[in-house]
Amino acid sequence: MSKRVLMAMSGGIDSSISALLLLEQGYELVGVTFRTFDYIQESCIAREKGCCSVESIMEAKHFAESLGVEHHILDFRQTFKEHVIANFVDEYRHGRTPNPCVLCNSHIKWGLLLDAADEYHCDFIATGHYAQIEARNGHYYLKCAADRQKDQTYFLWMLTEENLKRTIFPLGGLTKTEVREIALQHNFERLAKKSESQEICFIPDNDYRTFLANEGCQVRPGNYVDQEGKKIGRHSGYYNYTIGQRKGLGIAFGVPKYVTRIDAEHNQVTLGDYDDLYANELSANEMRLRDIAWLQESPSVLARIRHKSPATPANIEIPEDFETSHNASIHFTDPVWGVTPGQSVVLYKDELVVGGGLIS
């Protein structure tokens, strides 16, 4: 008897080819496409063809129908607004730089989707993410994708073992080039040539500052200060900045200056030199560790502090009260640049995701 899989379909090449591969492997599919956000601003017309737009939803529906797959459209807009957008706005209000994709994966794609899987009597859910799953030492782990350039494990660290037990990643062992070749082999030329958006799905034109203003974040100019706390100019509102930012400061010093700290409470933005952004350690909260005993016995890990950064040798320090605090410290072998509060730190061993947390 074939296993029944709930396939998350966005209308893009990755989820579409994932569905095709699962059908060829003998799975029974139920396709779902969810709507998380409404694009209502005039400046967003060009993005109507992007993720979660009406056009992409209908493309997913038509593709599912062409494969003979049952398809449903799910409205997740209210939950997305309450969990993802509200967190995004709140993090900026507190001077941090959030990563909404991490929360979306945890609360929406592996929250509401698993509920939908139960409703449609599906054993598993599947997505077009580039990641793999491996069982080892009695635990289920995320594993890096075969295509390191497309690997998405950084965005998936919040997934629990229960999530992974019911998940299939059909593209985990493939490269993006191979996925495009499969599309061409099946005469899906338009799909193979479809471009990908690298932007946050709910931010029109990638302009998060205007989005925050529309969500009620009021601009309050404040002081730029140097590394010693001395006033050196005025900024346009602290949530307009992020750690490591160099351009758009609105002030000239004759030499490049970078945002090194954001103090929301005092409405101050600290500017410094490039080297001021190097750090030997970081603290993280909301940590999730897959096997604490393994990490206590062998604390050496590779730590990634942003999606595009290389994983860097480090050691994790797990406090005695971890089970209640969910806090930990990461100490790097060599200094890393641009540690940013609100972003994720993801820990790896042997290409497995062994933990992650939010940089505090």
How many other C-beta atoms lie within 10 A of the C-beta of residue 227?
Answer: 12
**From start to end of 127-249, where are the E strands?**
132-136, 139-143, 167-168, 222-225, 231-235
Q: What's the sign of the alpha-carbon dihedral 347, 356, 329, 280?
A: positive
Among 353, 311, 301, residue whose Cα is nearest residue 129: 353
The secondary structure element, H or E, covering residue 68 is none
Among 156, 80, 148, residue whose Cα is nearest residue 125: 156
Annotation says 201 is catalytic: yes
Query: Of 51, 52, 101, 104, which is the active-site residue?
Result: 104
Among 43, 37, 84, 92, residue whose Cα is nearest residue 218: 92
The Cα-based distances of 164 to 80, 125, 153, 159, 269 in angstroms read 22, 9, 12, 7, 41
Query: Of 51, 52, 101, 201, which is the active-site residue?
Result: 201
The Cα-based distances of 125 to 20, 110, 300 in angstroms read 14, 9, 33
Question: Which tokens hold the place of 294?
Answer: 């393994």
Identify any residues that bridge with 272 across adjacent strands, giving them in sequence order. 258
Annotation says 51 is catalytic: no
Please give the torsion angle defined by the CA atoms of residues 120, 124, 128 and 134, in that order, rounded to the nearest 10 degrees: 170
Give the ranges where 140-251 is alpha helix by DSSP (H).
161-165, 176-185, 189-192, 208-214
Are the CB atoms for 158 and 105 separated by under 8 Å? yes
Report the DSSP pairing between strands 4-8 and 124-126. Answer: parallel
Question: What single-letter amino acid sits at 124?
Answer: F
The Cα-based distances of 269 to 92, 110, 249, 258 in angstroms read 13, 36, 10, 10
| Residue 296 half-sphere exposure toward CB, CA atoms < 13 A | 7
64 phi, psi to nearest 5 deg? -60, -45
Catalytic residues: 104, 201
